[in-house]
Amino acid sequence: MALGMARAGIEALPLCIALLPLDSHPKALGAAYVVEGAALGGLALARALMRNSAGVAPPAAFLLGDGENGGRRWQDFIAELEEDLSDMVELEAAVQSARDTFETFETWMAAWDR
């Protein structure tokens, strides 16, 4: 595999199954904010890897996500947030969901080092 892991090693990686219930549209948008932001960040990392690779093609395909569509996708998502989170109660629910999602992913990834 491109990053030096065999399929069995990849399949053995721990899954993140501890997400909190996304039982409202604002909560789902808050969690989606984290995931969409990570996808956009992956595109930025891939570009930096390719720019600094000194002619060697780095294994960055997994970071490309939607590729050049990533920026437009992010803009569309932000527009959806602005439209759908029209009051403070909905906005606060989305923000708390985003924080909870970040914390869940942080806890999940911390276990990788054990």
pLDDT, tens digit (0-9, with 9 covering 90-100), for 62-85: 677 777 777 788 899 999 999 999
pLDDT of residue 54: 66
CA proximity to 29, closest of 102, 78, 71, 70? 78
Cα separation, 17 vs 32, whole angstroms: 16
The C-alpha atoms of residue 23 and residue 25 are separated, in whole angstroms, by: 7
- pLDDT of the residue at 61: 67
The answer on pLDDT for 60 being more than 80 is: no
Tens digits of residue pLDDT in 1-49: 556 778 888 888 888 888 889 999 999 999 999 998 888 887 777 777 7
Q: What is the pLDDT of residue 23?
A: 96
Spatial CA neighbour of 38 closest among 2, 16, 68, 63: 63
- Cβ contact 111:14 at 8 Å: yes
